[in-house]
Amino acid sequence: MSGGTPILVVGSVAFDDVRTPFGAGADLLGGSATHFSVAASYFTPVRLVAVVGEDFAEAHAAPLRERGVDLAGLQRRAGRTFRWAGEYDFDLNNPRTLDTQLNVFAEFSPELPAGWEDTPVVFLANIDPDLQASVRGMVREPRLVAADTMNFWIAGKPDALRRTLGAVDVLLINDGEIRQLTGRWNLVEAAEEIHALGPRTVVVKRGEHGVLVFAPGDVFAVPAYPLRRVLDPTGAGDAFAGGFLGQLAARLRQDQEPDWRRAAVVGSVMASFQVESFSLERVRQLRPGEIEERYAGFRKLTEFGDFQR
């Protein structure tokens, strides 16, 4: 999408090996920034900051290019692209990481192309929290900053992660990870702890159980869409973030207050498409009208009348 409020995303661009109870794939294009960008591209222009290695051919970027994602901030460096291998059993909410190879991300020094330092919306997708902080610091007075993270960084760099969160408005995180980060089982208390670190809005992703949004003065829940076909949940969290921030960015353009509820439903719509295929097969080629149709499906799913005896 060319018009609208741009979003700058920093995160991983990866090759994934994934096994689920319904199939497997190797060397699939993945990564937090990739999944986010493709989903968000349906709503607003996206600027991607990341690094890939020499094994990343021109053709690998096709799904991003086709969706109009601006790749001027995608560096190519000597070495191998980030690699992740994971496996899911029937509990699709919790992947088991088999292997994480940072490769070119280990030495990554992000740079913003000219003009990108004024991007109004920033998404710090799941990646090293020091990298997230460095990119956050390069953007001048963004209107909205959101971040995601995962157990790998919560366990590996907890202090850096807490520092990064000090300059973040919205944290998107899954239920297991917010419990790990705060040491609290109760999600309401855990969200309050996160508020105290910085983010005023906390979105807790609960896989097939949907999401809980703790926004200023509002708590909202969206279920996951009951789908006949679920193949691979990889990227669902990032696709959620793409729809969520894409919707918020569109409203910023009209100078309206954020509508967290609508954004959470749009995020859930994009996550529901993400899980219907491996990698980006489904999300990269949505037909016109499909997003609207599923949004209406979510509304129907959760509408009910007044209480009657």
Any contact of residue 207 with ligand AMP (CB under 6 A)? Answer: no
Comparison of 27 and 169: residue with beta carbon closer to ligand AMP: 27
Among 6, 7, 16, 283, binds ligand AMP (CB under 6 A): 16
Query: How far from chain centre, in Å, is Cα 172?
Result: 8
With CB atoms as reference, the residue minimizing the distance to ligand AMP is 30
| Residues contacting 302, CB < 8 A, separation 6+ | 222, 223
Interatomic CA distance for residues 263 and 256, integer angstroms: 13
Among 48, 127, 139, 249, binds ligand AMP (CB under 6 A): 127
* Interacting residues with ligand AMP between 239 and 268 (CB under 6 A): none
Comparison of 4 and 176: residue with beta carbon closer to ligand AMP: 176
Any contact of residue 175 with ligand AMP (CB under 6 A)? Answer: no
Q: Decide: 147 and 167 in contact? Cβ < 8 Å.
A: no
Query: How far from chain centre, in Å, is Cα 251?
Result: 19
Any contact of residue 237 with ligand AMP (CB under 6 A)? Answer: yes
CB of 276 to ligand AMP, least distance (A): 14
Q: What is the H or E stretch that residue 23 is in? A: strand 23-30
Query: How far from chain centre, in Å, is Cα 79?
Result: 26
Q: Report helix, strand or coil for 251.
A: helix
CB of 66 to ligand AMP, least distance (A): 18
Site string for ligand AMP, 28-67 (x = CB under 6 A): --xxx--x--------------------------------
Comparison of 127 and 252: residue with beta carbon closer to ligand AMP: 127
Comparison of 124 and 249: residue with beta carbon closer to ligand AMP: 124
Interatomic CA distance for residues 286 and 277, integer angstroms: 12
Q: Decide: 264 and 220 in contact? Cβ < 8 Å.
A: yes
Interatomic CA distance for residues 298 and 279, integer angstroms: 23
Contact positions vs ligand AMP (CB under 6 A): 12, 14, 16, 30-32, 35, 84, 100, 126-127, 150, 152, 234-238
